[in-house]
């Protein structure tokens, strides 16, 4: 194949910065022809100035694209990937920008039976977590000692909780993740739900061949957040926490008077909490003893909210399961190079990329071949510890031109309940090694680390990187030999 003249066609990847969340704009240009692809648009819940920042991002996207997206990719239903659509609803949900086509994973297809079952499970877990978080907040308001671990990070990742379902049904209330997804599907010109193993092409006048690596169909992959722990790990694990969700929902329904409380002991053994608290004049010795021992006893030994602690574990499970529904795409340039957008894929999702081969032009390739040609890696899950596989992932990315983009704000991550270790230091170190320090972060100027220490002196690389003067984004021009020459408009594979 003849080399195209350098600089003819371009492919720019704009990462919006200052977000603990993902928002990437890909701009393809060939002469006067342009195509724009937006991948996710979100910031974590509860970060000061988040909504304002997302509005600025949206305005920049409109300006950059002339108000039209050839393709919008929404990887999964987590607030830090979709909140921008809600914060800038006028742009994304109310026609401010034209979305020609929308790509989502099969998990978002309401007509897909497996997706329905999956989402029913998620919904139940989410309702249980929501109920638990609300109860914990109530208890806290009443002065009970509620460990942060019970509620920490629950809402942040899930997004605003549907706190009044009737209000939401009537179109009021806060914008939730589910409603953002629904609305996007409605306003997009067309929607594709992608399948693992599919090979397609991004729409628009110029496009990129696209390999769909995930979300997987296999439940063993979807529900696997962590590496295997040994052959009999099932012995110790209590499923996916759905039984716990049932417990919590049963309990909260009973507390709200929706169902009869499910109590194993007959009435003659029970002393209502209120009865022990108020202690009527004729209260018996048992009630008095309980009042003195528990209510008047040392506060640090009380357990009012501890039973909700299981909700924290449930939320973790829910969170990583949702991450595993991430739509993961590998875009191939005409130069034969690959851009890998891993969304928030966790272990099971990564492993599943190897479960299938990818049929293209009568050829059949494995994901290893794609990873070997990766020149840009959008680091999974803000570079957390379990969202970049080593031997079956990063170590397979061997192209000498590899660069990485990490959408992260370290200080925001550390400020989360319990402190999220993002980027995970050992991973960051390995990324620096693998890329020759060509790592762009969402929280520091291009070519520098958050402490302003220079990260790379690769002049050729730095020459292709631009920071927005206002710090809104960093843009990376892929090397022209990697981009190649865009062919004529392609179909949708």
Partner 1 sequence: MDPKPTDTTYGRAAYPAPAMRRFRVYAFDPLASTSLETAVFNDAVISIPWEEPWEAPLEVGPRGEYLEVVDFDPASALFYAPLDPNHPLLLAQDGLPPSEGRPQFHQQMVYAVAMRTIHNFERALGRKVLWSPQPPPDGDYKALVDDGFVQRLRLYPHALREDNAYYSPDKKALLFGYFRAAPGEGARSLPGGWVFTCLSHDIIAHETTHAILDGAHTRFIEPSSHDTLAFHEAFADIIALLQHFTMDEVVRHQLAQHRGGLRFRTLLTGLARQFGDARGMAGSLREAIDVTADAEPKSGAYAKAVEPHERGSHLVAAVFDAFVTIFERRSEDLLRLAAGSTTPQAELHPDLVARLAKEASKAADHMLRICVRALDYVPPIDLRFGEFLRAMITADADLIPDDRLRYRIAIAEAFRRRGIFPQGITSMAPDSLMWEAPEHADPELSVCRFVPRPPDLDVGARFKRLDIWRQARRNQAIMHRWLVDPSADDDKWERLLGVKLTPDAPKTIARGPNGRPKVEVHSVRVARRAGPDGQDLRQLVIEVNQKRRGFFDPEDQAAADRGDPRIAADAMDFEFRGGSTVLVDLRDWTIRYAIRKRIDDDRRLRAQRDYLSGAAEADLKAVYFAGLGGKGPPAEPFALLHRG
Stretch that binds partner 1, among 27-35, 96-104, 265-273, 336-344 (CB under 8 A): 265-273
> Count of alpha carbons within 13 Å of 466, Cβ hemisphere only?
9
Stretch that binds partner 1, among 242-250, 325-333, 363-371, 394-402 (CB under 8 A): 242-250
Query: What does DSSP assign to residue 188?
Result: S
Phi and psi based region of residue 239 (left: phi greater than 0; alpha: psi -120 to 50; beta: remaining): left
Nearest to 342 by CA among 372, 365, 376, 317: 376
State which of residues 138, 142, 220, 229 lies at the interface with partner 1 (CB under 8 A): 229
Helix (H) or strand (E) holding 213: strand 209-214
Kindly give the interhelix angle for 309-323 and 113-141, rounded to the nearest 10 degrees: 150
Residue 425 C-beta: closest distance to partner 1, Å: 5
State which of residues 52, 273, 360, 398 lies at the interface with partner 1 (CB under 8 A): 273
List of residues 6+ apart from 54 with CB closer than 8 A: 19, 41, 42, 43, 83, 84, 87, 88
State which of residues 33, 147, 169, 372 lies at the interface with partner 1 (CB under 8 A): 147
Stretch that binds partner 1, among 22-30, 419-427, 468-476, 480-488 (CB under 8 A): 419-427
Residue 138 C-beta: closest distance to partner 1, Å: 12
State which of residues 5, 265, 363, 488 lies at the interface with partner 1 (CB under 8 A): 265
State which of residues 170, 272, 281, 391 lies at the interface with partner 1 (CB under 8 A): 272
Nearest to 339 by CA among 149, 202, 167: 202
Residue 443 C-beta: closest distance to partner 1, Å: 18
Give me 205's structure tokens.
């006048």
C-alpha span between 261 and 238 (Å, rounded) = 24
Residue 323 C-beta: closest distance to partner 1, Å: 10
CB closer to partner 1, 76 vs 337: 76
SS3 12: strand
List of residues 6+ apart from 381 with CB closer than 8 A: 323, 342, 343, 344, 345, 346, 387, 388, 422
Is residue 287 at the binding interface for partner 1, with CB under 8 A as the rule?
yes
Contact 198, 208 (CB under 8 A): no
Residue 253 C-beta: closest distance to partner 1, Å: 12
Q: Which pairing describes strands 338-341 and 328-332: parallel, antiparallel, or unpaired?
A: antiparallel
Stretch that binds partner 1, among 59-67, 177-185, 222-230, 433-441 (CB under 8 A): 222-230
C-alpha span between 88 and 85 (Å, rounded) = 5
Identify residues 398-417 at the interface with partner 1 (CB under 8 A).
414, 417
Nearest to 87 by CA among 175, 210, 173: 175
Identify residues 116-145 at the interface with partner 1 (CB under 8 A).
none
Residue 154 C-beta: closest distance to partner 1, Å: 10
Is residue 269 at the binding interface for partner 1, with CB under 8 A as the rule?
yes
CB closer to partner 1, 164 vs 390: 390
C-alpha span between 107 and 125 (Å, rounded) = 16
Give me 42's structure tokens.
């979100």
**Quick one: 419 exposed, middle or buried, by C-beta within 10 A (0-12, 13-18, 19+)?**
exposed
State which of residues 115, 158, 184, 290 lies at the interface with partner 1 (CB under 8 A): 290
Give me 123's structure tokens.
């919904």
Give me 474's structure tokens.
């960093």
Identify residues 149-178 at the interface with partner 1 (CB under 8 A).
149, 152-153
Stretch that binds partner 1, among 12-20, 101-109, 224-232, 478-486 (CB under 8 A): 224-232
Identify residues 291-320 at the interface with partner 1 (CB under 8 A).
293-294, 297, 300-307, 309-310, 312-313, 316, 320
Is residue 386 at the binding interface for partner 1, with CB under 8 A as the rule?
yes
CB closer to partner 1, 220 vs 273: 273
Residue 195 C-beta: closest distance to partner 1, Å: 28
Identify residues 243-262 at the interface with partner 1 (CB under 8 A).
243-244, 247-248, 251, 254-255, 261-262
State which of residues 49, 66, 418, 454 lies at the interface with partner 1 (CB under 8 A): 418
Is residue 424 at the binding interface for partner 1, with CB under 8 A as the rule?
yes
Residue 153 C-beta: closest distance to partner 1, Å: 6
Identify residues 325-384 at the interface with partner 1 (CB under 8 A).
384
Is residue 419 at the binding interface for partner 1, with CB under 8 A as the rule?
yes
Residue 149 to residues 240, 333, 456: CA-CA distances in angstroms? Answer: 19, 45, 39
């Amino acid at each position: 194949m003849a080399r195209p003249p350098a600089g003819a066609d371009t492919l720019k990847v704009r990462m919006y910065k200052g977000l603990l969340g993902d928002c990437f704009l890909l701009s393809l240009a060939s002469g006067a022809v342009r195509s724009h692809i937006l991948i996710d648009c979100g910031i974590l819940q509860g970060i000061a100035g988040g909504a304002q920042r997302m509005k600025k991002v949206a305005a920049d996207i409109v300006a950059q694209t002339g108000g039209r997206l050839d393709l919008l990719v929404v990887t999964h239903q987590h607030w830090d990937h979709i909140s921008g659509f809600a914060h800038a609803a006028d742009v994304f949900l109310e026609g401010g920008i034209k979305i020609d086509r929308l790509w989502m994973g099969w998990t978002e297809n309401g007509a897909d039976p497996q997706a329905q079952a999956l989402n029913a499970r998620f919904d139940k877990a989410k309702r249980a977590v929501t109920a638990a978080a609300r109860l914990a907040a109530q208890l806290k308001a009443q002065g009970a000692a509620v460990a942060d671990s019970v509620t920490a990070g629950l809402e942040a990742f899930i997004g605003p909780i549907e706190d009044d379902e009737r209000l939401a049904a009537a179109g009021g209330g806060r914008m939730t993740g589910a409603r953002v997804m629904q609305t996007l599907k409605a306003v997009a010109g067309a929607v594709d739900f992608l399948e693992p193993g599919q090979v397609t092409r991004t729409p628009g006048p110029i496009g990129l061949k696209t390999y769909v690596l995930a979300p997987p169909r296999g439940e063993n992959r979807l529900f696997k957040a962590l590496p295997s722990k040994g052959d009999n790990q099932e012995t110790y694990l209590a499923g996916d926490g759905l039984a716990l969700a049932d417990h919590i929902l049963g309990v909260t329904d009973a507390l709200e008077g929706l169902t009869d409380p499910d109590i194993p002991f007959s009435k003659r053994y029970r002393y209502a909490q209120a009865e022990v608290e108020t202690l009527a004049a004729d209260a018996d010795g048992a009630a008095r003893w309980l009042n003195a021992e528990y209510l008047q006893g040392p506060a640090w030994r009380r357990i009012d909210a501890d039973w909700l602690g299981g909700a924290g574990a449930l939320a973790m499970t829910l969170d990583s399961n949702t991450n595993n529904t991430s739509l993961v795409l590998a875009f191939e340039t005409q130069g034969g190079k690959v851009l890998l957008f891993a969304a928030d894929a966790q272990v099971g999702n990564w492993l599943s990329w190897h479960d299938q081969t990818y049929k293209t032009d009568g050829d059949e390739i494995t994901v290893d071949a794609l990873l070997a040609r990766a020149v840009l890696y959008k680091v999974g899950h803000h570079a957390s510890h379990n969202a970049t596989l080593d031997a079956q992932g990063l170590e397979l990315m061997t192209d000498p031109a590899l660069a990485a983009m990490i959408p992260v704000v370290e200080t925001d991550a550390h400020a989360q309940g319990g402190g999220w270790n993002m980027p995970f230091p050992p991973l960051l170190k390995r990324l620096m090694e693998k890329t020759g320090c060509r790592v762009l972060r969402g929280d520091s100027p291009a070519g520098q680390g958050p402490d302003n220490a220079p990260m790379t002196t690769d002049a050729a690389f730095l020459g292709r990187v631009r920071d927005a003067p206002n710090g809104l984004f960093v843009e990376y021009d892929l090397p022209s030999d990697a981009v190649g020459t865009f062919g004529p408009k392609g179909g949708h594979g």
